[in-house]
Structure 1
């Protein structure tokens, strides 16, 4: 993990600006980048106050499951490559298991960022032919995450996981 002096965080930056600032500065993340042929690789770069920054790497075809961030808002900036985000939408403000949902897809390219609120549910995939690197910022720090599947347009909870116990 990088220490706070190695990864200074300005308190006045919003999550998207912070994620993009780090993604655009490879000296901050390139020394720790690893790729794993079996699964997505990730490491937490820093925790400052109630905010945390993660670095993820993606080989072609690697993806997350459909998941939320346990009530944390966040931002995903692509530092290298292209990622595809599939976002879950519902006709109500809060998406709950059992809700009827729809999906939208969006490519996020190197140098671009996607911010999201506390109730965001999505899946991220590297559908390209090249490796990708992304920076993720969360506030408050992640404490739980839930994984889902979609059956016939209905959101189904698969599991809830806790920081420190499950990842």
Structure 2
């Protein structure tokens, strides 16, 4: 696996995006670990230290995260195989990311990531600091976010 250090003083979205891109480009080191699960997205943590963590996620068609944040952690994800869509709560527009594309985001980002294609997808995610909690949301009739629940790292 390509080693690239992400430190507490260098955890901006540019560094996190570079780490995600590097891991996606060197997927031969970890792609064999990916599993497909018809019951829900499959995920595994590849790396964790005091400054950041790395996750791989597989997505079958129709699987999604629902609206969520990352508990104050900044992050980035790279699509390795297939394509994913990212929806934001503030509008109807969605961003489609294909293999090789990376999306970085700050610590207050809320999104819904989903596979609406007809084929499986795989992505690699980097968060700094490591995730300690995530909040799940829904949109009410007026388009405002409503908190459904908060999850701690022990829940994953």
User: Is 1:133 the counterpart of 2:122 in the alignment?
Assistant: yes
* Aligned pair partner of 1:122 in 97, 111, 116: 111
Aligned: 1:159 with 2:149: yes
Aligned to 1:16: 17
Structure 1 residues 96-142: Cα deviation after superposition (integer angstroms, max 9, x where no partner): xxxxxx34310011000000000000001100011000000000000
Gaps of 5+ in 2: none
Residue 44 of structure 1: CA displacement? 0.4
Deviating runs (4+, > 3 A) in structure 1?
none
Does the 8 Å CA contact 1:77/1:113 hold for their aligned counterparts? yes
State the match for 2:80 in structure 1.
Answer: 79
Partner of 1:85: helix, strand, or coil? strand
- 2:97 maps to which of 77, 100, 108: 108
The alpha-carbon deviation at position 28 of structure 1 amounts to 2.3
Distance in 2, matches of 1:49 and 1:7, equals: 19
| Counterpart-to-counterpart distance in 1, 2:133 and 2:2 | 24
Give the SS at the match of 1:88: coil
Calculate the TM-score normalised by the size of structure 2: 0.90
Q: What is the aligned partner in structure 2 of residue 52 from structure 1?
A: 53
Q: Distance in 2 between matches of 1:117 and 1:28?
A: 28
Which sections of structure 1, spanning at least 5 residues, go unmatched?
1-5, 90-101
TM-score (ref. length: structure 1) = 0.85
Q: Which has the larger radius of gyration?
A: 1
| CA-CA distance at 1:27 after TM superposition | 1.5
CA contact (8 A) 1:16 1:115 kept: yes
Q: Is the 8 A contact 1:88 1:104 kept in 2?
A: no
SS in 2 for 1:17: helix
